[in-house]
Amino acid sequence: MKMFHDSDVDHTALKGKTIAIIGYGSQGRAHACNLKDSGHKVVVGVREGGKGWQRARQDGHDVAEPADAAKAADLIAILTPDMSQEALYRDVISDALQPGDTLLFAHGFSIHYGRITPPEGIDVVMIAPKAPGDLVRREYERGRGVPCLLAVHQDATGSAKARALAYAHGLGGTHAGVLETTFPEETITDLFGEQAVLCGGMSELVLKGFETLTEAGYQPEVAYFECLHELKLIVDLMQEGGLAKMLSFISETAKYGDFVSGPRVVDDSTKERMKAVLTDIENGTFAREWILENQAGLPRYKAMQQKDLDHPIEKTGSALRARMAWLNPQHNAEKQAS
């Protein structure tokens, strides 16, 4: 494992360079604001008159249409959604690239699956913060940072890694540590984690637990508390100190239940299905299906999303959360002000 920190940064690598942030969503805003506050020259590439344009101007950034921002930049960070990147690169970015420029991504999908093939003569790198954009920004403002992954796909100048590290430092990432990886490893592990554990696996576990209790006649409100509400408490403990901290904070009864019943629910057959998910990601099956789904106008995607939103746990949870004032950011702000 190679981990980089502040002392590893060459602060001259991006000196005098203009950085274009293409896209101003969660990550785009965090990257642009952190880099600007770190002293870098930043221009935000967004559609004129759109929400991103307006918000970037409110945040004090120089803004331009994506094509103009890319032409003015030495480093172009593509921070739009995966499925928009191929057309954006083809129609806007490719003509703006000059020998010696750097093309930066925060996720490896477009490069790994061949949706974008940059020309020789430019650096192609990745800096992937391991946190949502809002947290990337908040931790920077606290004088800290979130861990990042770094990868180099193409090193045309001999300075690709140094430029990527300087970019990560501008985000605050080298305060927490930057782990070196590759585009394939980041892409595959990121997709697998989302599908098998963090989003797909976790949400299905919650839904099936809720259904098991309610179908057995237990109140949906009680089932919600036990299968969804308290999940955050456990995840927070695990994030802070791994399994050891979680086990040290739960009751002896909960621990014994963990040991004897966890493997009954998630067993070796579950792991085999996880391996099948991993295989589909590795061989490109998932990527091809997702690309075709977008090209078809997202009919299955929309239907599956609506099915989740229509699940009884959503109605139950909405009513219960309305009584939890601490979950309301406005309430928290008013409480702090008073």
Class of domain 3-181: alpha beta
Let me know the angle formed at the C-alpha of 110 by 108 and 116, rounded to the nearest 5 degrees: 130
Give residue-wise pLDDT tens across range 48-96. 989 999 999 999 999 999 999 999 999 999 999 999 999 999 999 999 9
Across the beta sheet with 178-180, the strand order is 3-4, 178-180, 148-154, 123-129, 102-105, 75-78, 18-22, 41-45, 62-64
Distance CA 31, CA 42 (A): 10
What digits encode the pLDDT tens for the residues 157-213? Answer: 999 999 999 999 999 999 999 999 999 999 999 999 999 999 999 999 999 999 999
Intervals of CATH 3.40.50.720 along the chain: 3-181
Is 25 annotated among the ligand-binding residues?
Answer: yes
pLDDT in the model for residue 338: 44
Does the pLDDT of residue 334 top 70, yes or no?
no
Question: Around Cβ 170, how many Cβ atoms within 10 Å?
Answer: 24
- pTM of the full predicted structure? 0.92
| Residues 86, 120: Cα–Cα separation, whole Å | 18
Active site residue ranges: 107
In the chain, what is the straight-line distance between the N-terminal and C-terminal CA atoms, in Å?
Answer: 48
Is 230 part of any known ligand binding site? yes
Q: 109-125, pLDDT tens digit by residue?
A: 999 999 999 999 999 99
194 belongs to an annotated ligand binding site:
yes
Is residue 141 predicted with pLDDT exceeding 90? yes
Determine if residue 164 is left, alpha or beta; phi over 0 gives left, psi from -120 to 50 gives alpha, anything else beta. alpha
Length of the chain: 338
125: left (phi over 0), alpha (psi -120 to 50) or beta: beta
Percentage of the chain lying above the pLDDT 70 cut = 97
Q: What is the pLDDT of residue 325?
A: 87
**Mean pLDDT throughout 25-43?**
97
Residue type, 150: L
Kindly report the three-state secondary structure assignment for every residue of 283-317.
Answer: CCHHHHHHHHHHHCCCHHHHHHHHHHHCCHHHHHH
